[in-house]
Amino acid sequence: MTEQTITGLSFRDSVDHMAEKAMKAIKLDPKIAAAIKACNTVIQVSFPVDIRGRVEMFTGWRAVHSTHRLPVKGGIRYASYVDQNEVEALAALMTYKCAIVDVPFGGSKGGLHIDPSQYSRDEMEKITRRFTRELATRGFLNPATNVPAPDMGTGQREMAWMMDTYKHMFPEDINYAACVTGKPVAFGGIAGRTEATGRGVQYALREFFRHPDDIALAKLEGGLEGKKIIVQGLGNVGYHAAKFLSEQDGAKITAIIEHDGAISSDAGLDVEAVFQYKLKNGGIKGFPDATYTEDGAKLLEAECDILIPAALEGVIHTGNAKAIKANLIAEAANGPVTFEADQVLHEKGVVILPDAYVNAGGVIVSYFEWVRNLAHIRFGRMEHRLDEARGIQIIHAIEEGTGRPLPQHIKDELVRGSPEVDLVNSGLDDSMRLAYQQMRKTLAENDDIDSYRTAAFAIAIEKISRTYLDIGVY
Ligand code: NAD
């Protein structure tokens, strides 16, 4: 947040400017533009909680940017810097994000002003349950109208507490499990949700590297194999993205930036080892066989092919944009590049894959989880044995036709059926590929659109405006 002041633009203004650029490019009727940009509702709640014998007041927000589709969807962030402006900006991004990847939700976001590291597990549970009651009694948490998910500082644990609180408040709501997503699988969550946003970053980059013209635009060559990547933030999103890209695509994570500094290694860092070290020590400082830099943000400017900011907003601003050396930036965090920095990077020829597309994996899989909760059945449950039987029939047919037995590993694959996580990843991959292809088509076809970001916003705004016209907004 602090870096945003360097630009003079708030996070909310930054998002609005980006949307306005796309609205201009598609020559959107200004009245519809105004309706789309406006944040519909925002509530602020303040509530007391008894902490270690004294009463502490907590303040939280839930912003609903657009209800053109219901429910509205968006994470809940726990951080000591959260404020209304940030929550409104993030809610707007959610509206555009859902539209880009064809997830039928409106946009929302929540935040609680808290430093989670200062409270025990039991205290966090007490605070979360109270916050949930504040939101649910006002209709800002409900499976039909407003469905939160994890964001910075929250995870499966908080979602389980929220769902359980809602269930006790409204036991007659048969769809109570759908009131939040990102729950543990044992509490109605879906396999693959925890890693979905990082997985989506991987799928976005894989799709980028399938298009030689796009690779050339970023002045890069070849595929992901051997590409030097710097990641900022080794939390849920950054950890999974870095892990999958290094372990499955052969990319080299040459630096990791965290809250307590940065570590780098030209040979590439072992992401799992760094993550385990961070879990144990609370930071990355002191990680062996790597160079430590206290001023972590400085590493954003280091030599690399791909930069993945996966922590905070506003980290690339007018103060450091000129110094960025990456050819490609994949915005895994929300709003890591300010509006003005975006222009500077564009002039430098840096290609940016925008947040509203790159980190949409979380909301795509949240959508699958919500549908699964409403259906009250695990994906694949009905067809699992049928798939297995079909696989056996295929094996018999091939073996009879060729007169030779198939190798065991092929047989195993054919009779395996599809576990839920495979179905989830398949749906995620498909959504990320289709959205990317729409973005590059829009970029190629409209001369007034000069970046993937403006293309992404243009696609989203066209879709939303169609809904607004259909339902009548003024
Ligand atoms: P998280 O809390 O799991 O991880 C954030 C990480 O950033 C932590 O490891 C933290 O130590 C680190 N960090 C904090 N301050 C830092 C600093 N100054 N420099 C470097 N690192 C710092 O959060 P997350 O869920 O991974 O979210 C990260 C970003 O991704 C946020 O912008 C969030 O809005 C966005 N996002 C998250 C999801 C999701 O599913 N979790 C979905 C879409 C977008």
pLDDT tens-digit series, residues 1-26: 444 444 568 899 999 999 999 999 99
pLDDT for res 1: 43
Q: Which of 136, 168, 189 is the last residue of a domain?
A: 189
Residue 394 CB: number of other CB atoms within 10 A? Answer: 14
Does 412 fall in a domain? Answer: no
Q: Which atom of ligand 1 is nearest to the CA of 153?
A: 2
pLDDT for res 202: 98
**Is 180 close to ligand 1, i.e. is its CB under 6 Å away?**
no
**Is 310 close to ligand 1, i.e. is its CB under 6 Å away?**
yes
Q: Which residues are catalytic?
A: 109
pLDDT for res 6: 47
**Is 308 close to ligand 1, i.e. is its CB under 6 Å away?**
no
Mean pLDDT of 95-100: 97
Average pLDDT, the chain: 95
pLDDT tens-place string over residues 353-379: 999 999 999 999 999 999 999 999 999
Residues 218 and 326 in one domain: yes
pLDDT for res 473: 64
Say how many Å lie between the CA of residue 57 and the centre of ligand 1.
25
Residues 239 and 174 in one domain: no
Mutational test site, ligand 1, from 105, 274, 312, max ligand atoms within 8 Å of CB: 312
Mean pLDDT of 82-88: 95
Residues 303 and 317 in one domain: yes
Does 265 fall in a domain? Answer: yes
Residues 160 and 108 in one domain: yes
Q: Which of 189, 214, 235 is the last residue of a domain?
A: 189
Residues 180 and 296 in one domain: no
pLDDT tens-place string over residues 230-274: 999 999 999 999 999 999 999 999 999 999 999 999 999 999 999
Residues 96 and 202 in one domain: no
Residues 117 and 182 in one domain: yes
Does 177 fall in a domain? Answer: yes
**Nearest residue (CA) to ligand 1, atom 27:** 152
In contact, 218 and 328? CB cutoff 8 Å: yes
**Is 110 close to ligand 1, i.e. is its CB under 6 Å away?**
no
Residues 155 and 277 in one domain: no
Query: Is residue 313 pLDDT above 90, yes or no?
Result: yes
- Separation of alpha carbons 7 and 341, rounded Å: 8
**Nearest residue (CA) to ligand 1, atom 31:** 333
pLDDT tens-place string over residues 363-421: 999 999 999 999 999 998 888 888 889 999 999 999 999 999 999 999 988 888 778 99
Pairing of strands 261-264, 291-293: antiparallel
pLDDT for res 8: 66
Of the chain, the percentage scoring pLDDT greater than 70 comes to: 98
Residues 299 and 218 in one domain: yes
What CATH number is given to the structural domain containing 75?
A: 3.40.50.10860
Domain enclosing residue 117, as ranges: 40-189
**Is 142 close to ligand 1, i.e. is its CB under 6 Å away?**
no
Say how many Å lie between the CA of residue 239 and the centre of ligand 1.
9
Does 437 fall in a domain? Answer: yes
Residues 33 and 99 in one domain: no
**Is 296 close to ligand 1, i.e. is its CB under 6 Å away?**
yes
Q: Which of 189, 220, 253 is the last residue of a domain?
A: 189
pLDDT for res 110: 98
**471 pLDDT band (50/70/90 cuts)?**
confident
**Is 307 close to ligand 1, i.e. is its CB under 6 Å away?**
no
Does 410 fall in a domain? Answer: no
Find the range with the poorest average confidence among 82-86, 93-97, 233-237, 470-474. 470-474
Q: Which atom of ligand 1 is nearest to the CA of 154?
A: 2
Residues 109 and 62 in one domain: yes
What CATH number is given to the structural domain containing 333?
A: 3.40.50.720
pLDDT for res 474: 58
Say how many Å lie between the CA of residue 364 and the centre of ligand 1.
18
Say how many Å lie between the CA of residue 212 and the centre of ligand 1.
31
Mean pLDDT of 200-223: 98
Say how many Å lie between the CA of residue 381 and the centre of ligand 1.
34
Say how many Å lie between the CA of residue 237 and the centre of ligand 1.
6
Q: How many domains does the chain have?
A: 2
pLDDT for res 413: 87
Q: Which atom of ligand 1 is nearest to the CA of 182?
A: 40
**Is 362 close to ligand 1, i.e. is its CB under 6 Å away?**
yes
Residues 50 and 7 in one domain: no
pLDDT for res 5: 41
